Amino acid sequence: MSAADWFLLSPWLLLGAALLAVILVVGFWRHHGVMAAFTTAALTLAAASALLVLGATPARATIDALPLVRIDGLALLLVALFAAAGALTAAVSRRYLEGRRGDPEEYYILLMCAVFGAMTLAAADHFAIVLLGLEILSISLYTLIAYPEEDSWPLEAGLKYLILSGVASTTLLFGVALLYARTGSLGLDALAVGDGAAPLMVLTGAVMVLAGLSFKLSLAPFHLWTPDVYQGAPAPITGFVATVSKGAVVVVLLRIVAQSDLLASPQLFSILAAMAVLSMLLGNLLAVMQRSVKRVLAFSSVAHMGYLMVAVLAIGSSGGVALGTEAAVVYVVAYTVMTLAAFAVITTLSGAGATRDMDDIDAFTGLLWRQPLAAVVLAVALLSLAGIPLTLGFIGKFYLVAAGVDRGLWPLLWVLLLGSGIGLFYYLRILYALIRPTDPDVAEAARPSLAGGWVLGLLAGLLLLLGVWPMPLIEMVQGVLSYQEALPQLGVLVAPGEDSRDLQDVLGL
Amino acid sequence: MSLVLVILVLLLGGAGAILAEGWHPRFPRRVALATVVLASLVLAVGLWDAEPAVQAGSGDMAVYAFVQVPWIERFGIQLLFGIDGLGLLMVALTLLLGLVAVAAAWDEIEERTGFFAANLLWTLAGVVGVFSALDLFLFFLFWEVMLVPMYFLIAVWGHEARAFAAMKFFLFTQVSGLVMLLAILALVFVHARQTGVITFDYFALLGTTFDADTGRWIALGFLLAFLTKLPSVPVHSWLPDAHTQAPTAGSVILAGILLKTGAYGLLRFVLPLFPDAALDLRMPMMTLGAVSVLYGGVLAFAQTDFKRLVAYSSIAHMGFVLLGVFAWNALALQGAVMTMVAHGLSSAALFMIAGMLQHRLHTRELARMGGLWQRAPRLGAIALFFVVASLGMPGLANFVGEFLVLIGAFGVDVPLTVAAAVGMVVAAIYGLSLMQRAFQGRVADSSAAMADLAPRELVTLAVMLVGLVWLGLEPQRVLDVSAPMVAALMDALPAAPLLLGGAP
């Protein structure tokens, strides 16, 4: 392997080294604060290195010694996103984990492990790597969700996730096996079903792969694990599962769609469309009845994945402006930031060593008057999730609708509209609780720590700033999609083979 | 540039009001007053002797205070601001009613005064943005953004059913706004397929041609949003609750300006962008207008709550606007604009009076009022003036508007015009019934310690009184300002079949 190859791998190498270091050190010496700080720093460094590699735009995206991996622009952007999300999660977890029984250091090890798995998924170009990354991510999450182990809720959530995720992975594996048996290929293009006369085994295999991936994406009807796991898991981990774990699978899905030309098959298109519609409707309708804020966010994330599918489905057809992939990537970024913001608020408000997270909607009564910072950040996150302009969430929603209109996916757009309308109701209900007069019977929420306050401010600031000035993000995504032929056979804005631009151009500086 | 400055002043003033509360709870209202005055000065200075930037679109449109800055180049979205005559009238009305709202809230709001002033100012900023945005994405952004502070105004400082009313208001407007987003994007992509350029620029999109079906569907998308805001029957049911439950300042802004954004949207977007579709939809829309006039009037008469009665009367008045817009001739269009301005003044005044009564008597129920003229003669006299203005007494501004609409509509369809004219009679009935139930008859027990008009209240109402009298006696000033826009709309009108022998 040449120096250029090692350079391409630097995010993984950095994170791996940090992980090994922590595992070794923890055997001799434990210190929560140092561990949390080190984890945050290591993840931030990994994110920075990914952006550095992206900016340096090396000659090739593939490494000869690792033919199953593809480290192109899309992979690097999302690696940076996942590592940053992990860093923010670690930063808010510090105060959250204080005062709990048991050692918190393993939490950080597993968190870094989970990010590593997600990073691997982002660069996967072959089902073997997909499985590797998926399992690293999932197994780390099993324990993280069940953290701390003395309470029954996280344990129940962890068990549910373990069993259901295991079944989903098995389904995925079986699908891959069927595809291999018929096509002899384990690459992501094995799902090439074509437009109709595909052998039944290939179709079945493709459907099983999609089912396995949809579980991770919590698309209806594979969403049933979402509310219980979100509610039971510790709030920072819920934020992590909601964002990184889903984002990583979205990248895999985008690559499969591109390489197998998945959406050319009418059956698979209909299946994905049906799942999108079901997710948008069920996710929004079920959230209306919830009293637990974490459950509301869980069902709303089901709906948001349904919205994302509209962008993915817009990749399929031809003609027009080809917004589908761009919309999907922008939406993943937007969704990650706003979901992290919402769960970061819940984490900081739950405080140190609490037995239950601040979850019931009544606990948020009058938060705007008691703790303006946390309430404003939560309000911005909720408005962003609802898709109100001036927030990044609106830019994401705008992209989705633009992609859908461009391709003429009118039924999906009407469902998106209906779902958004229903969604407003439960987002506003939480917002209304924030602005109600304070109730003396409601327990005091914890104050955010310094790190927590910074994380909240950063996330809310990003939501508002990018909502008002989205061009930097848009240019970055456009640059990424044209770099190194990120996803072949898509209508990209720059023809493949053109000289890639450096980071300065990409950021429009 | 002055429009952007006005919006910035209002936004920063809101932030300043929140900070000012830290010094003293009474400071934010002064900050709010100063901000609106400053914004008005900026507008006046900016537009004094201003040179119009004439836009060659389909037909030249003289646009003042023009700003064009690239924003989201990916989609051809720009920061595009500018106003013509109609826009100027609306922005001026906005700032004037902003002053009225601040005056109305002066003593009424005691808690969280900084946040209240901020939301009030930010709503005004959003509305000014709606009236001056010429890029469709920017327009949509301001359309949605003006909802959020208004939601807070109703939800935090409103009356007993405020949560329900605020939610209903937000949901109706937001969902119809999303339909408009679909329509905007459809328009943009149709244009992109025709010209190969993605742009949200209003002037560029004016030239888009459609086949009949596409045009009608996209126009309906826009129409839904504007009819919901207007509001027109059948999507009007958010209005009575929102107006009744909002604090006085909120009702003033809602009735005075927010409803006008719907009418403005019809005049600025639906008619010029989709002339054929609008002509196809002319009869259904005029029917809805006439129905709104009658329905709003009849239901107003049935109310027992002072504010709710005035709210339903707003539906009736905006029915005239809808009728006038879709009658689509010079007289009717001028009548619609006049009604917009006049209704802004008269309904704001009536809501202010309702707020004063609620502040003094702690009730809005007409059954618990009566004979208030004896207790507060000046309040009674002024209330009589505004009721009479609202019902369309000649010599006052509302009459001019409604009369012009009726003349214009008569040439298009006689039965609907007759129905709307009957609506004027109904307006007299509910207006005088309101006066009688509240101010005449047996004196109410609850009114024992009722104070008459304070100087601040008198001055604010006097401003609107003078405005209505002036516009009623000399409406040509206002009509001259909006005349170029009306002429441009008449140019955009496709050759329409002659109806009933009258010129279209």
pLDDT tens, residue by residue, A405-436: 988 889 999 999 999 999 999 999 999 999 98
Q: What share of chain B is helix, strand, coil (3-state, %, to 5)?
A: 75, 5, 20
| B497, pLDDT greater than 70 | no
Reduced to 3 states, what is the DSSP secondary structure of residue B82? strand
| A499, pLDDT greater than 50 | no
Q: Which of B153, B155, B132 is nearest to B142 (CA)?
A: B132
**Rounded to whole angstroms, how far apart are CA atoms B27 and B156?**
19
Beta bridge partners of B77: B72
Say if B74 is an interface residue toward chain A (CB within 8 Å): yes
Q: Which of B113, B115, B101, B111 is nearest to B149 (CA)?
A: B115
**Rounded to whole angstroms, how far apart are CA atoms B365 and B328?**
40
**Rounded to whole angstroms, how far apart are CA atoms B238 and B254?**
12
| A221 phi, psi to nearest 5 deg | -90, 25
Mean predicted confidence (pLDDT) in B322-340: 92
pLDDT band at B467 (very low <50, low <70, confident <90, very high): very high
Count Cβ neighbours within 10 Å for each residue of B182-217 and write b for 16 or more, e otherwise.
bbbbbbbbbbbeeeeebbbbbbbbbebebeeebbbb
Q: Verify whether the Cβ–Cβ distance B152 to A474 is below 8 Å.
A: no
**Rounded to whole angstroms, how far apart are CA atoms A117 and A139?**
9
Q: Verify whether the Cβ–Cβ distance B74 to A390 is below 8 Å.
A: no
Q: What is the 3-state secondary structure (H, E, C) of B402-449?
A: HHHHHHHHHCCCHHHHHHHHHHHHHHHHHHHHHHHHHHCCCCCHHHCC
Considering CB atoms only, which of B145, B179, B182 is closest to A405?
B182
**Rounded to whole angstroms, how far apart are CA atoms B185 and A300?**
25
Instruction: State residue B372's pLDDT score.
Output: 87
Q: Verify whether the Cβ–Cβ distance A417 to B163 is below 8 Å.
A: no
For residue B197, which residues of chain A lie inside 8 Å, CB to CB?
none
| A193, pLDDT greater than 80 | no
Residue A407: closest CA among chain B residues belongs to which residue?
B189
pLDDT band at A284 (very low <50, low <70, confident <90, very high): very high
Instruction: State residue B502's pLDDT score.
Output: 39
| B303, pLDDT greater than 90 | yes
**Rounded to whole angstroms, how far apart are CA atoms B112 and A206?**
58
Considering CB atoms only, which of B152, B171, B198 is closest to A425?
B171
Q: Verify whether the Cβ–Cβ distance A474 to B74 is below 8 Å.
A: yes
Pairing status of strand A66-70 against strand B53-57: unpaired
| A124 phi, psi to nearest 5 deg | -75, 135
pLDDT band at A194 (very low <50, low <70, confident <90, very high): low
What residue has token string 């905006």? B318
Name the token pair of A163.
């069993």
B6, B45 in Cβ contact below 8 A?
A: no
Q: Which residues between 174 and 213 in chain A have a beta carbon less than 8 angstroms from any beta carbon of chain B?
A: none
Instruction: State residue B496's pLDDT score.
Output: 54
Reduced to 3 states, what is the DSSP secondary structure of residue B491? helix
Say if B179 is an interface residue toward chain A (CB within 8 Å): yes
Measured CA distances, B25 to B106, B111, B116, B153 (Å): 12, 8, 11, 17
Residue B147: closest CA among chain A residues belongs to which residue?
A388
Q: Verify whether the Cβ–Cβ distance A402 to B75 is below 8 Å.
A: yes
Mutate to test the interface with B, among A368, A380, A388, A480 (most CBs of B within 10 A): A388
| B15, pLDDT greater than 80 | yes
Measured CA distances, B290 to A50, B97, B230, B232, B415 (Å): 64, 27, 14, 10, 10
Considering CB atoms only, which of A388, A405, A421 is closest to B186?
A405
B120, B253 in Cβ contact below 8 A?
A: yes
pLDDT tens profile B227-261:
999 999 899 999 999 999 999 999 999 999 999 99
Average pLDDT over chain A reads 87
What contacts B269, CB < 8 A, 6 or more positions away?
B136, B139, B202, B222, B226
Instruction: State residue B498's pLDDT score.
Output: 42
Q: Verify whether the Cβ–Cβ distance B171 to A471 is below 8 Å.
A: no
Beta bridge partners of B86: none
Mean predicted confidence (pLDDT) in A339-352: 91
A458, A392 in Cβ contact below 8 A?
A: no
What residue has token string 């992979």? A75
B203, B57 in Cβ contact below 8 A?
A: yes
**Rounded to whole angstroms, how far apart are CA atoms B124 and B256?**
11
Reduced to 3 states, what is the DSSP secondary structure of residue B503? coil
Comparing A429-438, A484-493, B316-325, B339-348, which segment has the lowest mean pLDDT? A484-493
Say if B161 is an interface residue toward chain A (CB within 8 Å): no
For residue B141, which residues of chain A lie inside 8 Å, CB to CB?
389-390, 394
Instruction: State residue B445's pLDDT score.
Output: 75
CA distance B347 to chain A (A): 28
**Rounded to whole angstroms, how far apart are CA atoms A241 and A223?**
13
A134, A209 in Cβ contact below 8 A?
A: no
In chain B, the largest separation of any two C-alpha atoms, in whole Å, equals 72
Instruction: State residue B432's pLDDT score.
Output: 94
pLDDT band at B350 (very low <50, low <70, confident <90, very high): very high
Say if A61 is an interface residue toward chain B (CB within 8 Å): no
Mutate to test the interface with A, among B73, B130, B164, B185 (most CBs of A within 10 A): B185
Instruction: State residue A498's pLDDT score.
Output: 36
Q: Verify whether the Cβ–Cβ distance B145 to A390 is below 8 Å.
A: yes
pLDDT band at A495 (very low <50, low <70, confident <90, very high): very low
For residue A429, which residues of chain B lie inside 8 Å, CB to CB?
167
How many residue pairs bridge chain A and chain B with CB atoms within 8 Å of each other?
Answer: 73
Q: Verify whether the Cβ–Cβ distance B171 to A478 is below 8 Å.
A: no
DSSP type of residue B72: E
Say if A457 is an interface residue toward chain B (CB within 8 Å): no
Q: Verify whether the Cβ–Cβ distance B72 to A478 is below 8 Å.
A: no
Say if B407 is an interface residue toward chain A (CB within 8 Å): no
pLDDT greater at residue A60 or residue B14: B14
pLDDT band at B111 (very low <50, low <70, confident <90, very high): confident
DSSP type of residue B268: I
pLDDT band at B449 (very low <50, low <70, confident <90, very high): confident
Measured CA distances, B134 to A161, A416, B76, B202, B326 (Å): 51, 27, 13, 5, 22
Containing A66, the helix (H) or strand (E) segment is: strand A66-70
**Rounded to whole angstroms, how far apart are CA atoms A95 and A354?**
10
Task: Give whichever of A322-326, A499-503, B188-192 has the largest mean pLDDT.
Answer: B188-192
B190, B208 in Cβ contact below 8 A?
A: yes
| B214, pLDDT greater than 60 | yes
pLDDT band at A502 (very low <50, low <70, confident <90, very high): very low
Percentage with pLDDT > 70 across chain A: 90
Mean predicted confidence (pLDDT) in B467-494: 87
Instruction: State residue B444's pLDDT score.
Output: 76
Q: Verify whether the Cβ–Cβ distance A390 to B175 is below 8 Å.
A: no
Q: Which of B67, B182, B175, B170 is nearest to B123 (CA)?
A: B170
| A255, pLDDT greater than 80 | yes
| A493, pLDDT greater than 50 | no
What contacts B284, CB < 8 A, 6 or more positions away?
none
Residue B198: closest CA among chain A residues belongs to which residue?
A321
Comparing A209-218, A378-387, B90-99, B209-218, which segment has the lowest mean pLDDT? B209-218
B448, with CB counted inside 10 A (0-12, 13-18, 19+), is exposed
Mean predicted confidence (pLDDT) in B425-450: 87
Q: Verify whether the Cβ–Cβ distance B155 to A432 is below 8 Å.
A: yes
pLDDT greater at residue B232 or residue A59: B232
Cα dihedral value A245, A246, A252, A255, nearest 10 = -140
pLDDT band at A322 (very low <50, low <70, confident <90, very high): low
Q: Which residues between 366 and 425 in chain A have a beta carbon less than 8 angstroms from any beta carbon of chain B?
A: 369, 383, 388-390, 394, 398, 401-402, 405-406, 413, 417, 420-421, 424-425
Beta bridge partners of B61: B55
Instruction: State residue A491's pLDDT score.
Output: 32
| A507, pLDDT greater than 50 | no
Mutate to test the interface with A, among B111, B122, B181 (most CBs of A within 10 A): B181
Instruction: State residue A489's pLDDT score.
Output: 35
Instruction: State residue B151's pLDDT score.
Output: 95
Other Cβ atoms less than 10 A from the Cβ of A494: the count is: 15
Q: Verify whether the Cβ–Cβ distance B167 to A435 is below 8 Å.
A: no
Say if B73 is an interface residue toward chain A (CB within 8 Å): yes
pLDDT band at A501 (very low <50, low <70, confident <90, very high): very low
For residue B214, which residues of chain A lie inside 8 Å, CB to CB?
none
Residue type present at position A503: L
Instruction: State residue A490's pLDDT score.
Output: 34
| A260, pLDDT greater than 90 | no
A188, A125 in Cβ contact below 8 A?
A: yes
Q: Which residues between 422 and 481 in chain B have a beta carbon less than 8 angstroms from any beta carbon of chain A?
A: none
Mean predicted confidence (pLDDT) in A197-223: 90
**Rounded to whole angstroms, how far apart are CA atoms A170 and A156?**
21
Measured CA distances, A47 to A41, A127, B411 (Å): 10, 25, 70
Q: Verify whether the Cβ–Cβ distance A405 to B189 is below 8 Å.
A: yes
For residue B152, which residues of chain A lie inside 8 Å, CB to CB?
435
Say if A470 is an interface residue toward chain B (CB within 8 Å): yes
pLDDT band at B487 (very low <50, low <70, confident <90, very high): confident
**Rounded to whole angstroms, how far apart are CA atoms A83 and A72?**
16
Mean predicted confidence (pLDDT) in B463-467: 93
Q: Verify whether the Cβ–Cβ distance B148 to A388 is below 8 Å.
A: yes
B253, B124 in Cβ contact below 8 A?
A: yes
CA distance A424 to chain B (A): 7
Q: Verify whether the Cβ–Cβ distance A383 to B148 is below 8 Å.
A: yes
pLDDT band at B388 (very low <50, low <70, confident <90, very high): very high
Q: What share of chain A is helix, strand, coil (3-state, %, to 5)?
A: 75, 0, 25
What contacts A327, CB < 8 A, 6 or more positions away?
A311, A314, A396, A399, A400, A402, A403
